[in-house]
Amino acid sequence: MSYLNATAILEHALPHTSDTYWNQFDTVSKYNVHLNYFERLWMAWYAYIGNDVLATGIMSFMMHELVYFGRSLPWMIIDRIPYFNKYKIQNQKIPTAAEQWQCAKLVLISHFTVELPQIWLFHPMAQFFGLGTEVPFPPVYKMAYQIAIFFVLEDTWHYWMHRAFHWGPLYKAVHKIHHQYSAPFGLAAEYASPIEVMSLGFGTVGIPIVWCAITKDLHILTMYIWIVLRLFQAIDAHSGYEFPWSLHHFLPFWAGAEHHDVHHEKFIGNYSSSFRWWDYVLDTEAGAEASKRRREKKLAKARKAQ
Ligand SMILES: [Zn+2]
Ligand SMILES: [Zn+2]
């Protein structure tokens, strides 16, 4: 096959034009002066790729990798700085660089084998249920209340699924992998069996899609911001660090690292992800303080019975 033939075929096979991304951006900008800079970048990306499934797939996968490793990196650096040791919850257990590298390798393999196909399937599924990709973007208040609802629903899903995973046979078959680290660190957030990634992941990805199927009102950008925030939440909860300025000091129902670290240390209790209310109401809080409270309650009951 001649070189010319090959390029002709390639140009046919590749959906996007031979134009560069920034040329597309200039064209989009010229004809869409009413759009803001970010909206133009977004529109040019879809025009440049020329295939919505590919455009969303590439963007979603890159975003996930960037946020996951980008957010884990500061925690890895903090682990190497002795000053921060006093804020480490289980401060005798700083992960070594070798341990973190081992974990990163497994997480990467899982991202490429388990998560990539699912991320790829996301767009056709989203399209089927009517997720919007259009510009202009939805108003901020709408994105905010939808994300708040996703946080509450995901936390509920997480609580029950995670609690179920601690049932003996399921724990041995699935959840044990995630508990390999009794003193967690950021990178270990997605260190888990593929079955766990899929079933807990439903809370993050499936719930918004169900929401969209019912309300017919969800933009993919809202979904992206939600997933970025949820990734931050999961990585920070595994960081193993508790600071005087940690969010739960200001929002007492926010779980944070203090909540999930005890779960990894004690293996029982503190099953929810973002908030503390499920563990509080259903009396599954972990840690010395919670067991003391439980003991006192039992004693009071016993005294009453006498
Ligand atoms: Zn667990
Ligand atoms: Zn965990």
- Examine the domain organization and report whether 32 and 111 are in the same domain: no
Rounded to 5 degrees, φ, ψ at 219 are: -95, 145
Task: Quote the percentage of the chain above a pLDDT of 70.
Answer: 94
- Examine the domain organization and report whether 92 and 10 are in the same domain: no
Least confident of 115-129, 155-169, 191-205, 235-249: 115-129
Distance from the alpha carbon of residue 43 to the mean position of ligand 2, in angstroms: 37
Residue located via tokens 């075929």? 9
- Examine the domain organization and report whether 253 and 125 are in the same domain: yes
Among residues 255, 99, 86, the alpha carbon closest in space to that of 182 is found at 99
Distance from the alpha carbon of residue 162 to the mean position of ligand 1, in angstroms: 6
Three-state secondary-structure class, residue 184 = coil
Distance from the alpha carbon of residue 161 to the mean position of ligand 2, in angstroms: 13
Distance from the alpha carbon of residue 143 to the mean position of ligand 2, in angstroms: 28
Domain that holds residue 33: 1-50
- Examine the domain organization and report whether 114 and 56 are in the same domain: yes
- Examine the domain organization and report whether 119 and 175 are in the same domain: yes
- Examine the domain organization and report whether 7 and 70 are in the same domain: no
Span 104-162, pLDDT tens digits: 999 999 999 888 887 778 888 888 888 888 889 999 999 999 999 999 999 999 999 99
- Examine the domain organization and report whether 9 and 157 are in the same domain: no
Ligand number, closest to the Cα atom of 185: 2
Which of 11, 33, 50 lies at the terminal end of a domain, its last residue? 50
- Examine the domain organization and report whether 14 and 145 are in the same domain: no
Total number of domains constituting the chain = 2
- Examine the domain organization and report whether 111 and 70 are in the same domain: yes
- Is the separation of the CB atoms in 256 and 247 below 8 Å? yes
Q: How confident is the model at residue 1 (pLDDT cuts 50, 70, 90)?
A: very low
Residue 13 has pLDDT above 60, yes or no: no
Give the model's pLDDT for residue 8: 47
- In whole angstroms, give the CA distance from residue 301 to residue 295: 10
Distance from the alpha carbon of residue 263 to the mean position of ligand 2, in angstroms: 7
pTM for the model: 0.87
Give the model's pLDDT for residue 169: 95
Distance from the alpha carbon of residue 14 to the mean position of ligand 1, in angstroms: 44
- Sign, CA dihedral 97-99-101-103, equals negative
- Is the separation of the CB atoms in 247 and 260 below 8 Å? no
Type of residue at 33: V
